[in-house]
Amino acid sequence: MSTRKILALGLSVLTALALLSACGGAPPSSAPASGSAAEPTTAPAAAAPTVAAAEELPEPQEGEAPNQPMPVVPRPTQQTEDASGESSQLEAYQQSGGLFQIEVPHDWQVEEERGSEEVRNIFRSPDHRSFIAVYLNQNSDFDDREQLAIDLERYLSQELGTTVQVKVGEPDNVGRLRVEFSYNLPDDLIGHKGGGYIANRGNLISFVIFSTPSNEFARWSNTLTASADSFVLADNASLQ
């Protein structure tokens, strides 16, 4: 074959290939063309949330109320006693000779003295600032209130070591003479107040009195008055 024919044949082949490419005859490529957007992918659907089953309460037995939340009950406040409630702390004391009985604060100390014509019992608070006293005397004249005040002043002055001012009032509804008194101890700037009563039976006079610092009188007065009013003289009481 001549050189001219070979050149003509190659030119024909190139021309054919160019025409085929222009007409889209080339097989499509499986890869996406450069610069084209990829087809969006659909994500798998999320699983629905699982709802936990409510805890089941046990079925009520026959005759029982349906199960309900436990109600909250407020705790009651503990109530403290006031001065008038202190009288509940009194306890009975009987004089060693059986002459009388009286209720006194349970933690108070007692001193007792007996002579041929008188009996003296004194009950002192733990701090020795307050006292209850029972003084039995057969020589006093109950109808002479001025003399009774003198007798009580003498007794208290002897016990306390200081001058005591006593006031004897009118008889109460059971015939007792109510008394009031006050005094100051050495080096004591507060002062003390007291009260009680004088009673008689036959020839025996009973002085039942109490005292406390003036600034504590309001606190103790109910208790000490209750103590004095609890005094009971024995039916056969006698100093003979």
Residue 60 identity: P
Give the pLDDT of the chain (240 residues) as one tens digit per residue.
Answer: 554 554 444 445 444 444 444 444 444 444 444 444 444 444 444 444 444 444 454 555 555 444 443 333 333 322 224 444 444 589 999 998 889 999 999 999 999 988 777 899 999 999 888 999 999 988 778 888 888 888 888 888 888 888 898 999 988 888 999 999 999 987 777 899 999 999 988 888 899 999 999 999 988 889 999 999 999 999 888 877
Are residues 86 and 223 in contact, defined by beta-carbon separation less than 8 angstroms? yes
Instruction: Report the alpha-carbon distance of residue 161 to residue 119 in Å, rounded.
Output: 19
Rg (CA), the chain: 56
DSSP state of 85: G
Helix (H, G, I), strand (E, B) or coil at 3: helix
Strand-pairing partners, residue 19, are none
Q: Where are the domains of the chain?
A: 132-234
The verdict on pTM exceeding 0.75 is no
Are residues 83 and 219 in contact, defined by beta-carbon separation less than 8 angstroms? yes
> Pick from 132, 125, 110: which is nearest to 226 by CA?
132
In the block, residue with structure tokens 């006079």: 205
Q: DSSP letters along 143-157, please?
A: T-HHHHHHHHHHHHH
Are residues 177 and 148 in contact, defined by beta-carbon separation less than 8 angstroms? yes
Across 10-106, where does the E strand assignment appear?
90-94, 100-105
- What residues contact 162, with CB distance under 8 A and at least 6 apart? 183, 184, 185, 186
